[in-house]
Structure 1
């Protein structure tokens, strides 16, 4: 890691759809040495916040600064090229391709278009295998993505993200729909990955958040309610009222 400096900063970030404010003047900093979790009730603005960070949506106002550069109005492809990479709440894979091919496409994307029909650079497949080993999917390398279990597909999506060489990884509910055993495996994987680069995690399972997060950003109706260490956030009266049901 590169110390405790800020890798991403948002200032007064706002997104309004007609009369609905989905993200309401949020200011926050995300550091290189921390795993930052984002929590909040359904409709709190969490995924919209991710969409703003990655260029899928343009903010109504405010600024986004990544590694010291203003990316507020940068195209999604430019943001990804800079190394701000996300996974999605709904799995997005090439179902008709193998597990290895899905990751190889991501690796190849750092250079140019993937060659579906001809021979690929052996170094690309080698790197893809390394990533599959890292996420414990080598035994599924030749399986079609559509034939994987739900948990395996979620893990493959993380592998695809790793293929793009992220500098900051955004994970949108990576344990959604997983069994307790699968959830434990993903928690372990996230724990390993955080030693390589910072992670921002949207997650509904508080057991996951409490185990992996250094800081928690709480959103409610698009507003920031809290942004602090887990033990501080859990004792915040407003957070307890609107999100934790009045309990710690």
Structure 2
């Protein structure tokens, strides 16, 4: 059984159908990239999966559970994490304290910070190592580079036991070196996590994608490997402007 199964998913905003009868499956450990021109419905699809937007109709099943009518926090508790284009971290806290908040099982920043102990620091250390921030543990998050901030947010999602991670243009604004490091992180994450990524950087997509889905006007236009997508005439017409 696929980890995520989307069937006949659609959503209407007034008279506009932003996602139109979308169906696809995602396997555990897969890195799936969503491509398409602006307005194709890519980010809205992520919103529908994480619960930020409720569908007009259709089915979303995660690990066998129908989630299409669940609230966003309920889906997060099931193991679905969402990273938006603008990083969302606590800029006044250190990198390690951000991860302490993310690993806390009780609500509230104050509880997480007052209980921040050597044992918690031991728990966050492997997370920092996983995203290459072990040397930045005591740096205030607001002083991180753009790429480092993105990596911290990814580590926070891992800390929250997100088995399916949704990412919207994660490399936007990154340097070439940061983008290359992000590709390494993604490949290592796929050993234990499933990733759905909206991305425009085709060199990055070539590096990380196991499979690509191209959307156009809210619908699935094509899916396959990078070679199959680049050879697809419909994709060239819709996405590349040929």
TM range (shorter): over 0.9
Give the Cα–Cα distance (whole angstroms) in 1 for the partners of residues 241 and 203 of structure 2. 15
Give the Cα–Cα distance (whole angstroms) in 2 for the partners of residues 123 and 7 of structure 1. 33
Q: Secondary structure at the match of 1:106?
A: helix
Query: After TM superposition, where is structure 1 displaced by more than 4 Å over at least 4 residues in a row?
Result: none
Does 1:76 find its partner at 2:72? yes
Give the Cα–Cα distance (whole angstroms) in 2 for the partners of residues 29 and 78 of structure 1. 21
Q: Which of 113, 119, 124 is the equivalent residue of 2:120? A: 124
Give the Cα–Cα distance (whole angstroms) in 1 for the partners of residues 37 and 230 of structure 2. 15
For residue 112 of structure 1, what is the aligned residue in structure 2? 106
Superposition RMSD on alpha carbons, in Å? 1.4
CA displacement at 1:117 relative to structure 2: 5.5
Change (3 A) 1:137 1:117: closer
Q: TM-score, normalised by structure 2?
A: 0.95
Give the Cα–Cα distance (whole angstroms) in 1 for the partners of residues 45 and 39 of structure 2. 11
Q: Secondary structure at the match of 2:185?
A: helix
For residue 138 of structure 1, what is the aligned residue in structure 2? 134
Give the Cα–Cα distance (whole angstroms) in 1 for the partners of residues 72 and 65 of structure 2. 15
Does 1:181 find its partner at 2:177? yes
Give the Cα–Cα distance (whole angstroms) in 1 for the partners of residues 115 and 161 of structure 2. 23
Q: Aligned residues, how many?
A: 240
CA displacement at 1:83 relative to structure 2: 0.6
Q: Which runs of 5+ in 1 are unaligned?
A: none
For residue 52 of structure 1, what is the aligned residue in structure 2? 48
Give the Cα–Cα distance (whole angstroms) in 1 for the partners of residues 49 and 238 of structure 2. 25
CA displacement at 1:239 relative to structure 2: 0.5
Give the Cα–Cα distance (whole angstroms) in 2 for the partners of residues 80 and 56 of structure 1. 11
Q: Secondary structure at the match of 2:171?
A: coil
Q: Which of 188, 192, 200 is the equivalent residue of 1:204? A: 200
Change (3 A) 1:117 1:104: closer
CA displacement at 1:122 relative to structure 2: 3.9
Q: Which of 145, 148, 155 is the equivalent residue of 1:152? A: 148
